[in-house]
Structure 1
Amino acid sequence: LTCLATLAIPQLGTELFPPVDGGQFTILLRGPLGTRIERMEGIVAKVETEVMDAIGKPDLAGDDPDSDLQLLISNIGVLYDWPAAYTPNTGPMDAFVLVQLKDDRKETAQQHAARLRPLLEKSFQDVEFAYDTGGMMTAALNFGMPSPIDIQVQGSKLEVLDEIAQAIRDEAGKIDGAVDARINQPLRYPALKINVDRIKAGQLGLTQEDVIKNVAAALNSSTNFAPSFWIAPNGNHYFMGVQYKETEIDSIETLRDVPITGGTDGTSILLRNVATIEEITTPPIISHLNITRTVDVYVNVEGRDVGSVAADLEERLENSESFQALMMDYGSKGYTWAIRGEVQSMQESFGQFGTGLLIAAILVYLVMVAQFRSFLMPFVILLTVPLGAVGVIAALLLTGTHMSIPAFMGLILMVGIVVEYSILLVEFAAKKIRDGTPVTEAVVEAAQARVRPVLMTSLTTVLALLPMAIGLGHGAEGNIPLARAIIGAVIGGAVLALLVVPALMSLLGPLLRPKTPEASS
C-alpha cells in the first residue's frame, strides 16, 4: 500500500494554495504599443460593456437577481510620478478593470474569468488580456505577482532578453492549461529622442538643462522640476506650474517650434535651432533583480494544477530545439532563465514541510520512548505512520484535491492521529503479554476492546470535518485540502490501527514477554 501510494503522489498535482473565490478579479489589458490614452479609454469602455453583458449590470443595492456584478472600476495609463509604484500599468496602452462580485453570486470569480477569456479575445483581437483571480491570500503568498508562474530572463542587453522572453512565451502558449502568457516589460515602445547640439546651444547662451526643462514644461508640466504650491483658504494646497494645452502639441513640427528660454538675455530660441528630433523605440519600463536586468514572462493556469503546468513548461523548454539553440548562443554570454514566483515558493515550502514531517515523527518517537520505557513499542507504533499517509494520499486522489500547504498540514497532523490510534491498541496488548497472556490471544483481545473507541473517535472527527471538506460557502476553498487530508488520515489510521497494528504485534509481541531465568540443574 505504501509503495502504491508513493507512486500515486505525482498524480495528485501541486499548488502553493488552492484557488479561493475572493469575490473579485482583475482584467489586465494591453493595447498595441503606442496607443494613446484617449483610444485606450474607448477600448476599456467597450470591454466594460462586454463584461456587463456577460455578468450583469452593476447592482450595488442587490435588487437584480440576474446580475452577479456589484461594482466595476477601471484604471487607464500611469502617472509618471510616485503613484507609478502602485499600479500594474506601464504606459498609456495599459489598463486594468477591477470586477467586484456580489456576495450572493451564482458563479465564482474563476468561473466568470474563464467565461470572459474567449469572449474578450474574440472581440478585441489586437488587445492582450490577462486575468488575476488570486485574491488577497494568493497575492500575499505570491509576493503580489499577478500570475502563479513567473519565468524570469536575466542578462545585460534588453534586445536579447526580449528575444528569449518571446521564445518562452510562444512555447508556454502550446502547453495544455497554460493561459494568458505575456511579457510584462515590452521593448519597442515608440518614442522621440531629442538630440541637443550643445555647442550651438552654448553659443546661444543655453544649456542642456534649459532645453530639457522647456520641453518637459511643454509636454507635461513644470511641477516635475520646479514645484510650487498655492495654499487655499480652506488649508488645501495645490500644485502650480506652467504647461501647454494638449491640443497645441499635435505633431513633431509643432514640437520643433517650442520656444526655449533660459539664457542670460531672456531671448527665446526655437527648439529646431538647437536640437534635432529622432523617432525611436524604447522600453517603457526596465526591471532589475539583484542589479541584473530582468524580463518577466507571466503565465496563468486554468483547469490544471500549477506544479504540473510548470513542470511541463520546463520540460518543453529543455526539449525545444529552437529554444535550446537560442540559449546555446546567449547562455555562454551570461543570459539565464528560471521559473520563480509561486512555483519557487511552493517548492521551498514543500521542502520545509517535508523536513517538519520528519522532525514530527522523530519527536513523537522520543516522547513515546520516555513514556513506554521501551524502544520496541514506540517503533511498532511508528511503523504505522508511513501506512497512515496512504489514507491521506487516497483521500486527496479520490477527491481530485491537489497537494498544497493546507494538505501538507493535514499530512503532519496525520502523524499524531495514527500514533494515537495505535497507542490505544499497542498499550493494551503489551500489558496483556507482560501478564503472561499468549501473544495471539492478547492481540485479539486488544483489537476487540479498542475497536469501539477507535471507530467512535474516527466517526465523530469525520462528521465534524465533513462541512469543511465539502467547502460550503464562498471563500471556503482554502480549508478543503486540510479537511480532506485529515479525514483521510482518520479513516486510514483507524483501519490500519485495527488491521496492521495487530499483525505487527503478532510478529514482535514475543519480544515484549519478560525473560524467565533458567532453572538450575
Structure 2
Amino acid sequence: SLIMAVIFVPVIGSKIAKKNKHNQDDFEEKLKAKYEKVLLYCVNKPKQVLKIAIFGFIGMIFIYAQFNHGVEFFPEAEPESANVLVHAKGDWSIYEKDEMLKKVEDIVLQQEGIENVYSVAGDTGNSTGGSQDIIGKLSLEYYDWDYGRPKSAEILKSISEKTEHLYGIKVEGEEQQGGPKEGKPINIAVRGDNYTLVKSIAKRIEKELAQVEGIKDLTTSLSDPGIEWNLIIDRAEASRHNTNLVEVGNTASLTTAGVKVGTYRPDDSNDEYDIVARFTESQRSLTNLDNLRVITSSSDIVPAENLMQRVAKEKVSIIERLDQKNVVYVKADVEEGVLANTIIDIMQKEIDKADIPAGVSIEFKGDREDQQEASTFLEKAFLFAIMMMLIILVTQFNSIFQAFVILSAVILSIAGVLLGHLIMVKPFGIVMSGLGVIALAGIVVNNNIVLIDAYNILRKDGLSWKEALVEACKTRLRPVLLTAITTLIGLLPMALKLTIVFTERKVMYDSPSSQWWDQLASSIAFGLTFATVLTLLVTPSLIAWFEGRQEYKKNKKNK
C-alpha cells in the first residue's frame, strides 16, 4: 500500500485527472463551514474541550467497569467436528464397552446435521488430567454450515438428552477447539504431598462447582471408584509348611490371570504364544480363592487361608504428579452464553474464603492461565509499539509535545473500543479485542500525523498558529473523513457477523468464519470512529492550548 500511495497512484492520477481544477461541491463547502464554526470554538476555548475529553474518557472507563459483558480468552467459533465421550463406572471388558458404545452410536447416527461418525471403544488416550471412566469416543464430522445444519451446541445437547435413559452411561460433548484454546475452559489443579488430602479437597471443589449455575460436563482425574484385593502371604507360616512365596503366589494366580507354564510356536508362524494355566471361569471367584489348597514341595496339601490373608483396599488406577507433587484436576465446561471467567471468579472467591490445609495449593489452569499469558504478551506488545512510535515521531517532528499529541489519540480512542463492546453486547476478548487495540493504534496515528505535518508546513509559510491550525484542519477534513468512512465500510460486515459470498450471490449471518473476527472488527470500527472525532476536535484543542500557553509566556517575558 505504501508503494501504491507513493508511486503508482500519483502516476495514474496524473494521466487520468482532469486538467481543470477540481470544484468542490456544495455539500463539502457546507460541511467545511459547519466544521469551521465548531473548530473555532475548540481553538478559542481549548481548556473546556480538553476537560470534556478527559472526563468523558474517565467516565467511559467507569461505565464499562459497571456494565461490561465480561471477559473471555478467545471467541467461540462454530466447529466443523466434535467428539462424544462416553463415561461408565466399573471394570468393563472391551466387548462390554463396545456394546455400550454401540447403544450411544445408534442414537448419534439418527441426529440431524452429522455426516460421518467414527467410534473407538476402550482406551482413547486420555490427556493429562482427563477423566478415568471414559469407555469410548465417537468422533463426529458435521455437514458444512452452508447446508443449514443446527449449531454444534444444539447437536451435542440433543445427543445428551436422547441418551439420558441409558442407565449407567454418561455422555459428554467435546467440540473441536479453535485458536489458542485447548481443553475445557475451567481447569482447577489441586496439588500437595499428601494424596489422600489432595483427593478430599478435589472432591470438595467438585461438589461446590456442581452447584454453580451454567456448569456442564464436570469431571475429575480421580480413579474410578472400586476395590482391589491384596494378598498378604505369611512368610513364616509358609516356611513351616515347607513352601515359599512363589508356590503360594502361583496357586493364587490360578484364580486370576493364570500361571505361564510354557510357550508354543506354530509351524506357520514366527511368533511364540504363551501357554497359561488357570481355572475355568466359574471357578475364578473370591470364594474359590479362600478355598484354595496349596501343594507344598513335600506333597502336603495346606489350606491357602492358613498361608495368606485377603485385604480389601480402595482401587487406585492412576496417580498424577505436577512438579513432583500429587495433583488432581477438576475440569468443567460452560453452557452456551456463559463466560468461563465469570465462573472462575466465583470459584476463586469461594476458595479464598475456604480453610485450605497447609501443604495443599489450588491453581487455575486452562483458560485462566492462557489468558494471563496472552494478556501479558499483548500488554508488552502494545507498550513496545507505543515506545517505537514515540521514538520515530520525536525524531521526525523534533518535538516531544507534538509526539504526545499524536499518541494521545491512541490512548483516548480506547474509550471508543469499550463503548463499542457495550453497544454490540460483546465480551472483551483478551486476544482478538487486544489485537484490535494494537491495530487501531497504527491507524489512529496516521490522521494526526498528516494533520500536524500540514500545520507545521503552514507555520513555516508564515501563517500565525491560529490561522495555520484552522487551515490545516479544514484541509485535512476530507481525507480524514474518507479514511474513516472507507475503513468502517470495510469492517462493517465483520463487525455485524456477515459473510458475503460474491461468487454464490448470498449473504450469511453468524457463520463460523465471521465469529472469529467480530471482536477485532468492532474494536477497530468504534475506536476509529471515536479517534476521528478526537483528530478533528481534541487534537486542535491540544495544539491551541499549547500555543496559547507559549504565547502567554512569551508576552509575559517581554513585559
Interval of TM-score (by shorter of Structure 1 and Structure 2): 0.7 to 0.9
Q: Which residue of structure 1 lines up, in the alignment, with residue 172 of structure 2?
A: 130
**For 1:444, which of 470, 482, 488 is the aligned residue?**
470
Corresponding position of 1:4? 59
Aligned-pair distance for 1:195? 2.3
Aligned to 1:63: none
The equivalent residue for 1:61 is none
CA contact (8 A) 2:219 2:330 kept: yes
Deviation at 1:101, TM superposition (A): 1.4
Residue 78 of structure 1 corresponds to which residue in structure 2?
A: 123
**Residue 189 (structure 1) aligned with residue 226 (structure 2):** yes
Alignment-derived partner of residue 398 in structure 1: 423
Does the Cα contact within 8 Å between 1:72 and 1:97 map onto a contact in 2? yes
Q: 1:241 to 1:340 in 2, by over 3 A?
A: same
In the TM superposition, residue 344 of structure 1 has moved relative to its aligned partner by 1.3
Alignment of 1:33-112 (within 5 A): 33-34=90-91, 39-53=96-110, 55-56=111-112, 68-78=113-123, 88=130, 90=132, 94-104=135-145, 106-112=149-155
Measure how far apart 1:375 and its partner are: 1.0
Take 1:208 and 1:292, find their aligned partners in 2: how far apart are those partners? 36
Among 287, 306, 312, the residue aligned to 2:346: 312
Q: Deviations over 1:127-153 (max 9, x none)?
A: 444332242545xx43xxx31111111
Q: Quick one: distance in 2 between partners of 1:481 and 1:42?
A: 45
* Residues 212 and 166 of structure 1: CA distance in aligned 2, closer, same or farther (over 3 Å): farther
In the superposition, the TM-score normalised over structure 2's length comes to 0.74
Map 1:204-353 onto structure 2 (within 5 A): 204-207=242-245, 211=249, 215=253, 218-219=256-257, 240-243=273-276, 247=281, 250-254=284-288, 274-302=307-335, 303-319=337-353, 324=354, 327=355, 331-332=357-358, 334-353=359-378
What pairs up with 1:397-436 in 2 under 5 angstroms? 397-402=422-427, 403-436=429-462
Which residue of the other structure, out of 455, 470, 478, is the alignment partner of 2:516? 478
Measured in 2, the distance between the counterparts of 1:95 and 1:395 equals 45
Q: Greater Rg, structure 1 or structure 2?
A: 2
Q: Distance in 2 between matches of 1:462 and 1:231?
A: 78
Q: Closer, same or farther in 2 for the Cα pair 1:443/1:84, shift >3 Å?
A: closer
- What's the CA shift string for 1:263-308, capped at 9, x where partnerless? 9999999976754433332222211111111111111122222222
Among candidates 488, 491, 507, match of residue 526 of structure 2: 488
**Structure 1 contact 151–298 (Cα < 8 Å) conserved:** yes
Number of residues of Structure 1 aligned to a counterpart in Structure 2: 484
Is contact 1:155-1:161 (8 Å) kept? yes
1:72-121 Cα distance to aligned partner (Å, 9 max, x none):
23333339xxx677995635x6333322212245123233234444454x
- On the 8 A contact 1:392/1:411 being kept in 2, the answer is yes
Q: Give yes or no for contact 1:18–1:404 (8 Å, CA) kept in 2.
A: no
Q: 1:434, 1:512 within 8 Å by CA — same for their partners in 2?
A: no
- Relative to the length of structure 1, the TM-score reads 0.79
Q: Quick one: structure 1 residues 238 and 148, their matched pair in 2 at CA, closer, same or farther if it must change by over 3 Å? A: farther
Q: Output the CA distance in 1 between the equivalents of 2:101 and 2:95.
A: 10
| Alpha-carbon offset, residue 228 of structure 1 | 9.8
Instruction: Tell me, yes or no, if structure 1 residue 506 matches structure 2 residue 549.
Output: no
1:457-479 per-residue CA deviation (whole Å, 9 max, x = no partner) reads 22333333344442634355333
Sort the Cα spacing of 1:38 and 1:386 in 2 relative to 1 into closer, same or farther, 3 A: same
5+ long unaligned stretches in structure 2: 1-55, 500-510
Provide the identity percentage.
20
Distance 1:449 1:102, change over 3 A: same
Q: Tell me if the contact between 2:255 and 2:289 (Cα under 8 Å) persists in the aligned partners.
A: no
Quick check: 2:255–2:283 contact (8 Å CA) kept in 1?
A: no
2:350 partner amino acid: R
For residues 209 and 335 of structure 1, what CA distance do their matches in structure 2 show? 44
Structure 1 contact 172–178 (Cα < 8 Å) conserved: yes
Question: Structure 1 residues 248, 446: CA separation in 2 closer, same or farther (over 3 Å shift)?
Answer: farther
Would the alpha carbon gap of residues 438 and 76 (structure 1) be closer, same or farther in structure 2, given more than 3 Å must change? same
Query: Residue 487 of structure 2 is aligned with which of 461, 464, 480?
Result: 461
- Relative to structure 1, the CA distance from residue 368 to residue 242 in structure 2 (aligned partners, 3 Å threshold; closer, same or farther) is farther
Specify the code of the residue in structure 2 equivalent to 1:111.
E
Root-mean-square deviation (Å): 4.1
1:101 alignment partner AA: Y
Residue 389 of structure 1 is matched in structure 2 by 414
Contact 1:153 1:337 in 2 (8 A): yes
